[in-house]
Amino acid sequence: MPWEGLTALYAAERAYLDTWTAVAERSPADSAYHAWVQNWSGQPFRAFTALGRDLDELAGAPSPAQAQRLGVLFTRAARFELAFWEMCWSGLAWLA
């Protein structure tokens, strides 16, 4: 199914955008990370989340079995996002 790959991409980009958007709302203007945070939550980056619309168009109305499969893929990809933060915090090896 071509939309399996798109589901993984959507999971990654969506998690990234949502996280940075939430961070931007809290980031003090004098923070060393402020410019960086503004970049990732900015408008150009939102173009990546058009992937969600693509997914809806491409997948149409998936069967329950297909929807469940995409849910598993989405959740697994989203866990990698969390693993990335943890890897850099504690030095845990990359999740496989």
C-alpha span between 82 and 63 (Å, rounded)? 29
Question: What is the identity of the amino acid at 85?
Answer: W
42 touches other proteins by CB under 8 A: no
64 touches other proteins by CB under 8 A: no
H or E element in which residue 34 lies? helix 34-41
Binding site for other proteins (CB under 8 A): 2, 5, 7, 10-11, 14-15, 18-19, 22-23, 26-28, 30-37, 39, 48, 52-53, 55-56, 59, 62, 67, 70-71, 74-76, 78-79, 81-96
